[in-house]
Structure 1
Amino acid sequence: MSFLTEILAFVVAIGVLVVVHEYGHYSVARLCGVKVLRFSIGFGKPLVQWVSPKTGTVWTIAALPLGGYVKMLDERETVEGESIRAADLPHTFNRQPVARRIAIVAAGPVANFLLAIALFAAVFASGVMEPAAILATPAPNTLAARAGFEGNETIVALRRAQSSEAHPVRSWSDLRWQLLGGAFDQQHLVLSARDGEGTFDFPLDLSQVKNQDVDDDFMSKLGFEPGGGTLSVVGVAPGSAAQKAGLVAGDRVQAIDGKPADNATALIAVIKSHAGQPVTLQIQRGTGAQATSLPVVLVPLAQRDEASGQTVGRIGAELATRVPSVKVRYGPLESLRLGAQRTWELSVYSLRMFGRMIIGEASLKNLSGPVTIADYAGKSARLGLSAFLSFLALVSISLGVLNLLPIPVLDGGHLLYYLVEAVTGTAISERWQLVLQRAGLVCIVALSAIALFNDLARLIHF
């Protein structure tokens, strides 16, 4: 059932994004008076096909749903010996002024950005449950620990050290995006956090963050994990260290070696670092009047971690963290503004990350392919409509940014040709276009191969 969910969510996501992208090209082409011969969703053998009686466009749904295209009337693409009627020549793409050609080509990525704005705005307006910005006890020697955080603080605002303008922090997701921007710019930030005694400022020096660390796991590397919740044991493997120590499903972990435990990531980090060494968990067993608190001493089993090759401790228990949530909701105009702002921030982040991958300042492991996209599509669909719409907006932005890269074959490559023509007054020769197209194809194949390799590496963990 999980596999079917992933496939269905992936097909829906790709289908929506491709339709929006190609319809952007189609609508502006029609607006500019260009004749569109075919609008295809997918490649390969047509499954469904019909002809518009008004425009003569052939609409097609093909067998391989990994893209699409809009074929416009163009003198350069006619079959040898074939000619275009004189009446249709003004409606060919190649005879349009350069400004119109730029508008037609740019319309696809722009449509993706507009879709992302609309999706984010819908999520913000409808309201979404997100983890509260409560910090778990940070791991030792992380930036969060060095900043003075001890755990259970609620982060309420964030500002640059040299600025008095504070930005409110409404949820964990909000905190993550603001720290991400600060990490990319290597800023000195000040976080305002509230605990039981009042509100305090914590300086956070993100200039120490390496570019390679700005990835999906960068919050954990900084020492920021959601806290304030409950950490429960949901399963115990037979014969494991956890079972031998007496842990059972339903136990709630309150502390480890005397330090509060409200996050699975922090607990796992301690267990990994104590291979063959005893650790003491303070747990609560039972509910209500029957609840009892007792210590459990266990010795993590030393095992080799396949990912790092190091020896780590494992106890054979499945853990689950339940953190407090808040409902984040905005008015219509504010949602639209935030949707545009989030789309802009993610677009800039994507471009900067890609640039740093090119110059070697960020890992190529950040590239993802269709397998990872399908996996996240399924996971977000199971989390609910808001999560799936947010995922769809994120991929739509990625598609828009990717297509704007100045790589021949992509929309950005064609835009580069037309911008050169607009500046110099001379079109790039067909010979040079052919050479550049081949170079661009090599780049796309290389990027696709890296993304696919990363997908497989994530699947088999090497």
Structure 2
Amino acid sequence: FGPRLVGKKIGETDYFISMIPLGGYVKLLGESSDDELSNDDEKRSFLKQHALKKIGIVAAGPLFNFLFAIIVFAIIYMIGIPVLTSEIGSVQDGSPAFRGGIKKGDVILAINKKDVSIWAELAGIIVNSEGKELQITINRDNKIKDLRLKAELVQSKNIFGEEIDSYKLGISASSNTIIERLNPFEAFWAGIGQTWYITKITLISVVKMVEGKLSPKTLGGPILIAQMAGARVQEGVMPFVFFMALLSINLGIINLLPIPILDGRHLLFF
């Protein structure tokens, strides 16, 4: 925004930096009905294009934000990410796991004869067990044992701080991790899944903020974003890259909102 400071024209496109470098934008030929154009320019101006073409042009920016995130996540998954193993770190007193004989240091090998090796796998099975009996195969001091127990409904808080009921055994993971690497095809789909998950969580957060169930402070602002980016750089390259993908998703969502000056407002009227 503001007066032009520096730039360069390549072909028919003028690239430049303004005095107030807050965000970025593209001014298209004939985007405003007040623009004075020659007959030739008017025919290829933005406002003269078919509605679907205009939608494609305007949506390209936000869609690239999502594509960037997918590619970044895919690269991260191919390089490898640390994931918690299925080793038990602690057992809550009086919990189903405690009563069923599970001990700290046990390694869960399978649940209902389905092999598991990372914590996310076994946690998903337990949460979706609906209180049904589980056959849990463990490795304890190089001895294989089968235990049978049922998860119980426990009240906990979700990522939005809301009280929810979920099935738990009363176990937590140890700090042991392994590096999980995916092939390019798996990594690409995992990148799509991660991007969709973050998009969904962000949209739910916006809705809850509008409903007054979530403080606007939780969404942060430019200063908070800069602070978080600086912190991620200090933590290492991978956390910083992950944060950039996360930020790209949020920018894509914000740009699609039907707010004046944003792409979402233009899409609403095409």
TM-score, normalising length: structure 1: 0.46
- Which residue type is aligned with residue 381 of structure 1? V
Q: Deviations over 1:38-81 (max 9, x none)?
A: xxxxx3454431111x22x11013454431100012263536xx
1:116 touches 1:393 (CA, 8 Å); kept in 2? yes
- Offset, 1:332: 0.9
Structure with greater contact order relative to length (CA < 8 Å, sep ≥ 6): 2
1:119 touches 1:389 (CA, 8 Å); kept in 2? yes
Q: Tell me what 2:191 maps to.
A: 339
Q: Tell me what 1:49 maps to.
A: 7
Moved more, 59-68 or 386-395: 59-68
Q: Tell me what 1:123 maps to.
A: 76
- d(CA) in 2 for partners of 1:333 and 1:409? 38
- d(CA) in 1 for partners of 2:159 and 2:269? 32
Q: Tell me what 1:96 maps to.
A: 49
1:131 touches 1:226 (CA, 8 Å); kept in 2? no
Q: Kindly indicate whether residue 215 of structure 2 is the aligned counterpart of residue 373 of structure 1.
A: no
Q: When the two structures are aligned, how many residues end up with a matched partner?
A: 256
- d(CA) in 1 for partners of 2:78 and 2:233? 19
- d(CA) in 2 for partners of 1:102 and 1:78? 21
- d(CA) in 1 for partners of 2:198 and 2:115? 18
Q: Deviations over 1:352-382 (max 9, x none)?
A: 2221222234443431212222222222223
Q: Tell me what 2:161 maps to.
A: 213
Q: Deviations over 1:402-456 (max 9, x none)?
A: 22223343222221222xxxxxxxxxxxxxxxxxxxxxxxxxxxxxxxxxxxxxx
Q: Kindly indicate whether residue 65 of structure 2 is the aligned counterpart of residue 112 of structure 1.
A: yes
1:151 touches 1:227 (CA, 8 Å); kept in 2? no
Q: Kindly indicate whether residue 14 of structure 2 is the aligned counterpart of residue 58 of structure 1.
A: yes
Q: Deviations over 1:324-377 (max 9, x none)?
A: 221111111111111111111211121122212222344434312122222222
Q: Tell me what 2:118 maps to.
A: 170
* Pairs within 5 Å for 1:181-330: 194=138, 196=140, 198=145, 203=151, 205=153, 209=157, 212-213=160-161, 227-228=173-174, 323-330=175-182
Q: Kindly indicate whether residue 206 of structure 2 is the aligned counterpart of residue 358 of structure 1.
A: no
Q: Structure 2, unaligned stretches of length 5 or more?
A: none
2:95 touches 2:169 (CA, 8 Å); kept in 1? no
User: In structure 2, do the counterparts of structure 1 residues 206 and 350 end up closer, same or farther at CA, with 3 Å as the change threshold?
Assistant: farther
- Which residue type is aligned with residue 350 of structure 1? T
- d(CA) in 1 for partners of 2:180 and 2:33? 52
Percent identity, aligned pairs only, is 30
- d(CA) in 2 for partners of 1:111 and 1:118? 10
2:90 touches 2:172 (CA, 8 Å); kept in 1? no
- d(CA) in 2 for partners of 1:128 and 1:210? 24
- Which residue type is aligned with residue 116 of structure 1? A
TM-score, normalising length: structure 2: 0.74
Q: Which secondary structure does the structure 2 equivalent of 1:50 belong to?
A: strand
- Offset, 1:187: 9.7
- Which residue type is aligned with residue 49 of structure 1? G
Bigger Rg, structure 1 or 2: 1
- Which residue type is aligned with residue 407 of structure 1? I
User: In structure 2, do the counterparts of structure 1 residues 156 and 405 end up closer, same or farther at CA, with 3 Å as the change threshold?
Assistant: farther
Q: Tell me what 1:87 maps to.
A: 40
* Pairs within 5 Å for 1:65-76: 65-74=21-30, 76=32
- d(CA) in 2 for partners of 1:168 and 1:62? 54
- d(CA) in 1 for partners of 2:138 and 2:104? 11
- d(CA) in 2 for partners of 1:327 and 1:414? 44
